[in-house]
Each structure stands twice: as structure tokens, then as C-alpha cells.
Structure 1
Amino acid sequence: MANHVYNLPVPLLESLTPRNFVGDLEPKLPSSPPPTSVASTSAANSRSCNICNGATFTDVEDQRQHYRSDWHRYNVKTRLNGGQAVSETEFSKLVDALEDSISGSASEESDSEDPDDAVDTLVSKATRNNRSPSPDQIKAATPQTAIAWFHAPPATQIGVYKALFDTGMHQSDYLGQLRQMQHGERTWAMFMVAGGHFAGAIVRVSDGADRGPNDSEPNSQKKKQKRPKTDTEVLKHKTFHRYTTRRKQGGSQSVNDNAKGPAKSAGALLRRYGEQALRDDIRNLIQDWAEDINACERIWIRASASNRKIFVDYDGCVIQKGDGRLRTFPFPTRRPTQSEVSRCLIELTRVKTSHFTEEALRAQDEAHLASRPKPKPIPSTAPAASPVKFKPVKLSKEEEFVREKWSRLLEMVEKGRLEPLKSFWEREGESLGGIDAPIPEWTGEKHATLLQMAAYAGHDVVVEWLLEVLHANPTVDVPLNRVDQDRDSDEASDSSKTAKGSRRTAYDVARNRAVRDVFRRCAGLHPDWWDWFGAAKVPSALSKEMENDRDDKKKARRKGLKDKVREREAKAKPPEPNPELETLSITSSNTASIVTGPQRLGGAAGTSESIAGLTIEMRAKVERERRARAAEARLAALAK
């Protein structure tokens, strides 16, 4: 029974003291001034200096000289800073430690200033050496643990989780509340959810009405003692499991959707349904247990940030978001099961024990204090002004929302996703300033408008939608400081060539003929919309008839090439095979194979010699294939 936090023996509770008080070292008292003689004590009222450890003087003149000395001024400033006065001998050692002495290194012109500077240097040095760490520094250096420790002489320490105490309570008040915990009955609510698994329970952790035999009266005899109740008892429990996580996916389906976008597979639909069903099951269970949960002293929840919303912060929730009873488990937990809830309950209510003597505890504290980093000394002189570092401006929620809209819009334009772009622009177009709104510089985009960006990306359908439907302005200049003037010669061959440093428009940054044709076609259909041939720098209009003529010419050119290829093939058609010529070719090939003398690796060179040894029919076939490949190459060149 003694290992249960709500059932501690009374003698043990009365002997406990907070471990932090035992661990604190006694502060070092300031060294007392050296004892003075009776004569000097009697003379202290008339010719003595109380600041300089009761120094005495023979006459008034010596006393005046002392008040003007560096030793006296040093002691006065040291006492004002909270330090201790030094004797004249110690002050002489401090002066000798300086690189220059106070009285010997000063020139005649600076006798009235250098001693004061030297005294200030000595005072600053003494202050740095005697400075003790601040309470904030001590608190930061002290390791923080989840367990509060208490000490019972001579050599017993017990530890209790801090989460059992009330929120905001100081550690010095833990002992009083620990003693109060031994009275009264209390219940807890424990919920755990992870990976589609849920386990919940309402447990009793103490029962003050029946604690068994009184520990303070071990010799009391009774005829028959009641069997003591167990320290903990599970009153209600429930577990669920739903399919919410794909193996090796690394989280629930909702987390994966937020990171990578919603998946469209059947498994993803099942996992989304499982998440919704698990959330409804848990909330229905909490609603059924509402009366028991309201009577609980503590509510323990193990859940991720997204799953925590299942328990709090929804309409009609039983557990409020700022409830002071809410706690998280102060130790690692495993998969949520009924056995894991029981294990966590035992871990929370079990007292941790150790056995160290007070001397061993004090040695641990001294070793810890020695291992603390010493605070950095504050320099006496003002440090050199460091360059100003501009911190990033913290954006408001509205600004972050606007930046997210721009990022999504630019991504759609850059990738040419027209259908999502249309729906997005219908919702957010007006809030972003219209189609001709300049792209913010924080995006890092090289172009000034969406039309310029789409033209540079080479998406003709997006450019056509921007010009025809949204009436984007093609006369806006491309900012010279945000665009690279160099382009490939192939991309700029059909566009209007501009001199380096002159103004450029959306037509100038178009990267293919399809985009440039969109500008020319729109200029021909709507000549009154913009100054197409002036400010927009479109070279000429393109009508439907012109496109048809161009297509007809291209078709005629291709047909002419095909006819020429057919004529050449007809002329090169081989004659009927002659057996005598075949025999002659075979004989010549055999004769060629007997040729003696050095030959190069790879056989004979040249086009005529590469088909040596073939029949006339095979030679004609090879020749036809060569001409066909050449014709295809010419057609491909014309199609560009």
C-alpha cells in the first residue's frame, strides 16, 4: 500500500520535506571584519574609518589624507556595489596586479583623472568576480523533470508526478496538497487514441472511506478486519478500432491529404470514412459518460494535435478547451488498448522511491552546481555597435491568407492548369486586384502581370483566356530589373527583336509561335481593345483567312515533297532479276573476298563500296530506304 500515491502512511507523510529545500546549499556568509583591539574600538568614534574596516588615525590631517586616498575611494564604491571592503595590504596587491600602478603611471597633466579610472577598473573587476548568478539563470540551468521529489530522513526519497497536482501551483505547495490527497474518493477519466485505435476508461484511484488498517497504530488488535479495497479500480471502459491509417504511410488519411493533396483511391475513401466514424463513436461515448466525466478530478488525454479536436472545442462538447482538469501523460505510451490504459494508471499512481543519505544528496547538489556554466562577465566598457539585423516582419493572418492566394494563383498559371484557374479566379479575382494587378515582388516572379507570366511559360490556352475573356492588358511593360534579357535564338527567331535595354511587353517574352499567334489573332479580332501594333508591340494581325492560306501553303509544300519522293522511287525501280547477273555478282563478291594485302577494320569505306557483294534487287532496296529517310527528314524540317 505504501507505493500508492493516495495511500501513503501517516508517519511518512509527516516526515516529508520538499527535495528542493534539502538540495539547496547554504549561502556563504560574508567574511566578518578582523577583530580590532580595545584601543582602536574606543578611538573609532573620533579618528577612525568605519568603511575601511575601522582604520584609525593619529590626527585629523592623517584622516583627511585617508579620505582622499585611492584605498578609501575603492572601499566606498565597492560597498555601494554590495561588495566587501579590503585592507590596505590587499588593496596594494590589487594595484600591483594592474599593468600600470595608480600613482606611478599617471602623467603630471592627468594626476586628477587616472587614479579615478584605475579605481573604477578595480571596482568593476571585483564586481565581476563576486557576481552571483541570477534566479533566472539558476532556474534555466536546473534540469526540469516531470516528477516532484520529497525527502524523508534519514535516507528515503519519494517521487510523484507533477501532473497530479493542480495547475499553476508552486512546488513549495506540493507537500500540502500531497497530504490532502490521502482523504476522500476521486475518479479519473483516461482517453487514448492513435492510428485508428481508441481506448477509454473511468477509473477510481482512491477511496478514503476504507484504507485498511491504520498505519499509525500497528499494535491495535481487532477480531476481524475487513478486506481492504484495491487502490485502483476500472469503473467503465471501452475500445474502438477503425481503418484510418495506411501501412507505412506515416499518419492518418487527413494528415496525408493536408500534406500531399486529397487522394482519389478507394482505400483513401475508406480511411476518410473510418476517421469520421471513429470521431462520431468517441464523441457519442463521451456524451454517454458525461455525468461521470463531470465528476472526475483529472482527465487524461493522449492524442495528436489533430486528434485532440475529437475531445474538445466542438459544438456541444462535454470537455471544455480550457478545463483545468485536462492533463497529458507525462511519459511515453504504446498503442491504445485496455491493458495500456491499466498500465498508465499504475504508472501514474505509483510512488517512485530512492534511498540516499543527506550527505549523498548534498554531494549531488554540489556536483550539479559545479557543472553549471558560469555567467558571462559584463564588460565595463560599452561594446562596439553591432550591425543592425532586420528581423522578418511577422505577418498577420490576413496577409498570410493573401500570400497563400497569390502562391496558388501563380502555380496554376505557371503549370497551365486552365480549369482550376477559371474557378479560382471566379472566387478570388476581385480580392486580388483584378487581372492587371501587378504581381508582388515578395513572390520572386520575374514578370509584372499574369499575362506576361503565361506568355513566358508558353501556355497558349491560358494566354487566350486572359486576352479574350478577362481582357488582360498586353501593353504593360516587363520590368527590366526583374527579367533576363537573354533568350535562345530559336525561341526569338519569329518574335520582334528588341534592342537590349528597351521596353518589352508580353508579346516579346512569348516563347513559341502558338502563343504569338494568339496575340496576333486577338489583335485582328479586336483591334479597338488595345494599341496592339504600338504599345503592345504586336507586329501584325492574324485573321482566319491568313491562317487558312498558311495552312494551305504548308499542305501544298508537303504534297509537292511527297510527289517528288514518289517520282524518284519510280525512276529507281530495279529491272527484272537476271540469273546471269546474280551469278556474276556472286562470283565478283567471292573474288573480292580473296583480295590480299592490308585492310582497315570495318570493311571498305564509302557509300558505293558499302553495298558491295549485294544483289541488284538488294541494292535497290537499300537505296529506296536511304531516300525515304532523307525525305522524312526534309518534311520534319518544314513542319517546324
Structure 2
Amino acid sequence: MSHFHIYSLPAELLDTLTPRNLVNEPQPRSPSPAPLVSTSTTGSRACNVCNGTTFVDVEEQRTHFRSDWHRYNVKTRMNGGQSVSELEFSKLVDGLEDSISGSASEDSDSDDSDDAVDALFSKTKRKARSQSPDGPASAPQTALAWFHSPPATQLGVYKALFNTGVHQSHYLSELKSMQTGGRTWAMFMVAGGHFAGAIVRVSRGDDEEEEPQKKKKPKKPKSDTEVLKHKTFHRYTTRRKQGGSQGLNDNAKGNAKSAGAQLRRYGEQALRDDIRNLIADWAEEINGCERIWIRASGTNRKIFIDYEGCVIEKGDGRLRTFPFPTRRPTQSELSRCLMELTRAKTSHLTEDALRAQDEAYLASLPKPKPIPVVVAPAPEKPKPIKLSKEEEIFREKWSRLLEMVGKGRLEPLKSFWEREGENLGGVDAFIPEWTGEKRATLLQVAAYAGHEDVTSWLLETLHADPTVDVPLAKAGEPEDNDSGDASDSPRPPKGSRRTAYDLARNRAVRDVFRRCAGAHPDLWDWFGAARVPSALSKEMEEERDEKKKVWRKGLKDRVKEREGKAKPAPEPEPKPVLPEPKVHNPTGPRKLGGASGATEGIAGLTPEMRAKVERERRARAAEARLTALSKN
């Protein structure tokens, strides 16, 4: 018998099993040894690229050649790397944001699968370059628990089938207890808008023994596994050849306004509603299941758990993830995964071969380096901590947030907070020490910077806590214990407790605190823990403004009155003395060219004064002529 069902193992086989713990237990200094696989050399159905993996028939071998695992190993070997086992490949897949979907035979999925394998290969290559070559290697952790039956039979069972918290030394007793009682599983998969779910029976109960045959016709033997319920459907959620869901793209780049984006958002909502409605319909069967298997990415996992009225609780001990790579969620893929989980892996190695394999494994472990004894080690400068990509992104977000709060950029701050506020811990999250900020919260930063609109938004909209204490200055650092000229509360003594209100450097920001204390008196302990001296209502502000106007008007009047008394009256400017023009007798003799004194009378005058004198002279001359005519 080449395959054994884990819930119906023969009794004579169970009595001879012993645990194989050497390659399963974690070693403190182990590299990546070869996985425990079958070394049967019968036939030519084997893959030399994937560590000599053998296959039962040609169809299984062809399926392996189309799998992501095989294509990843081919890329790795072509670039001078080492092939990885199927377990190590599944761990690499789990490191991605979305599990690799594909490996299907359809032409429409080949490009997406190739893109996924390329992305995984690139990520592994970057990670290998970033790691130190002399760093300690971690021991491989296989997903299988292996048991040995003399003389040459080994059985492998997935550890995920055992109860959570059971030590591997008790796996054998757990395996024996799994041979009794009926069991059902719930299996769900979702990726790329595709969903597949099923309720399956994996073992028959003790009361399901076959009844004696009354008729001559023999009854067909009942299968070990049976699909009780199943459902598959698909929604449009992922853009062709772009990767990732529309929701992830919106969180990273903002909401797109195209028609396709609208359709994908609707598809995500409809997919979530369809799955939750199906789980609600299967609630009775799910509650009776022994295991609940879920294949979903981080965002899609929220569809099944952690929502109001959810059937599957977040901390349910029955929850499991598939311990091997899976393809596109379909009914056939669920059947394949069910077969993979319930069929024990077998190999046929003699005890001598096992002993040689163990010795080779132990010999491959690197020997510990002797620790040099240094009498007086020279102090070394601390090496800069190399941050991961996630930590760098997290620090960049905090830096952008503090910059917007410190510069009072309210509109960009609102948009940024809608996207990243929850990921950064909320409005009352303490500012990390690596930022170098002396203040503890965003409210304290805004109050210290003197931005009235940002402070009002934090208090009124986000309800920031004004009672958080300002961190005390460390030894040797100056304490910025200035409350500003507009402070209406006494300056706290050095080293005493301070809050965001004490950091406000102008009266406008302090009025924001007092105004919020008047509008929301029960929200915080404003007059105690927050150190706000009093509330400020609209009537009080109007009264204060009116008093200020009256005071300013009186001040202006007093200034004018004081200036009027001190300044003497200005003397009138003397009028220029114009020379009297000589009146010539019209009957007397006249000289050609006019009077001789006319030029001397206007000498030294400005052009304006000269024109005025000339007008006066002409007017008097005309008056003299009229007088002479009247006498004649």
C-alpha cells in the first residue's frame, strides 16, 4: 500500500511506529539540510532540479513541472543558486503580501504565474544580498512529523493536523487517538477574486460501520473522505497583469477614479458579502468542524474573522493555514489539498540508510567557533542598525507626519491621517524616541509650534488627550520651560509636571484649549490633569473683544489729547512782499521796452511768484488806464 489515510491507519502499523525527531527538532546552529524525501530510484520519474523528488505516475510529474516550485528552482539554478524544498518554498510564498496563485494549465493564467515567480525570485535575491554571509543559519523546520516503522517504512503527517500546543514528543499518541470518532473540516480559499469553500468529512464515526448486506449485490465501499457541501464563485477584483487588489492600490496611491477601479471596488464588496453570507448559512456545520483551513492574504483574511456577528472567532484554536503552496481557488484544488492533508507521506529507507542520513546531517552542521579571550577589549563604535523595508516605510511615515504637524499643513495632514492614522497607533500614540522629538504626542507638537488650526483639529475632531505629560528633560539637556508672553497661568517650576497647554506659545492656541474645555466639559479633566485654567465661551470672547476695543479707543483719545497739549500752535507763514508797480502817465513819454524797474522787481523770485507778480502788474496797469479814461 503506497498511501495511508491518516484517520484509518492499520492497527499493526500503529503499534510499530516510533517518532523520528532528529530532523524535526530545531537545532541551534544548523544550515539548510536536504529535506526528508523518498530516495526511491525505481523508474525515471524524478526531478533532478528539485532535490530528486520522485512521482507516482507521469501525470503527477507533468503537474510538478508546471508548478511554481519547480519554475522557481529552475530560475535559482540558472543563476548559480541552490534548489529549495517544497517546505522552504512555501515559507518564501508566505513572506509575500499575496500568496502565489496560478500554476494552472490555462493560458490566461500563465503570465500572472510567471510574474509571481519572478517577483518571489527577485525578493529572495535581494534578501540574500542584504544578509551577512557570516551570519548564523537557522535550522530548517519541516511541516511534516515523521514516524518510522521497522524495517523500512516511514510515514510523514502534517503537524498542522495535531492540536495546538501539543509537543512533538506526544505526536504519536495524538496520531493514535485520531483513529476513532468522526471528524469534519471546513476549507476556504480566496485569491484574485476567486473563492472556493467546502465542508468535508475526513473520517467515519464508530457508529458508521457498514450494515450487513441483505441483498446479493455488494454495496460500494464508503470512501474515507466525502464532500458534504461546496461552493465556488468569482468576482472582478484584480487588474489584468497588475497584481494586487484594488483596495491595496487605493491604500497605497489613493482612490483611482477610472471605471475599472469602480468595478473592482464593487467586486471586492460583493465578494466579501457573498463569502460572509455563505459562512452564515454554513454556521451550524462550521461550529461542528474539527479544523478550519483558510488560505487568504492579510487583507482577505479579514473577510472570515474579526467582524460583527462573525461565525469564526479570531482566536479560534481550530484555525489553520495550508502548510504547502496552493493554486487558484477551485473545487478541484480543494480536493487536491484535502488529499494532500489526509494522505500520509511514505518513504522506504532501511535503518542503515536512516542512520547514514542522520550522520551526514549532523556532520553538515557548522562547528562553533572558539571565543577569543580578550583582556581589555577596545571600545567599538556601535554599528548602525540596518532597518528592514517595513521599518524604513514606518519611519518615513512618522517623519512626514511630524513635518506636517510642525509646519501647520492642515489639509495634507487630514488626507494623510485618513490613510495612515490607524497604522501609526492613533492620535494619542507616543512619538518614537528615534525621531529626536522632545514632545510626547502630536497635540504637544502642534501646541508648541503655535498652529491654532492644527491644534483645534486635533482636539475637536480627533479628540486628542490633553492630559498627557510632557517628557522631562534628560540629564544634561536644557528644559524648554517657556510658556510664552500670552500665558494666563503661572509658569510651572522647573522639573514639575507640564501638559500640552503649558507648551502653547501664544494666546490664540491657549484659547483653543479653553474653547474646547467649554464646548466639551466632560471629555477630559480640563481644569485638573490638563492644567487649563478656565473655560472660554463665545459670550466671554465677545465681552473680551468689546473691552479691548473700548480700551484701545480710550488709549487713542488720551494720546491725541497729550500730543495736543505738548505741541504749540503753528505760526502763519509770512506773505511775500510784492513791489508796487509804477503807474506811468499814459500821456507822458514812454521808453521802448517798458519800465526799467520791472526786471529788477522780480529778480530772485521763483517762476510761480514771477507769474503772480506779472498778473498783479497787468491788473494794476489795466486799472490805471481805466481811471485815466474816466477823467478824460
TM-score range normalised by the length of the shorter chain: 0.3 to 0.5
TM-score, normalising length from structure 2? 0.45
Q: Greater RCO between the two (CA within 8 Å, min separation 6)?
A: 2
Please, what TM-score do these two structures have when normalized by structure 1? 0.44
Q: Point out the structure with the larger helix share.
A: 1
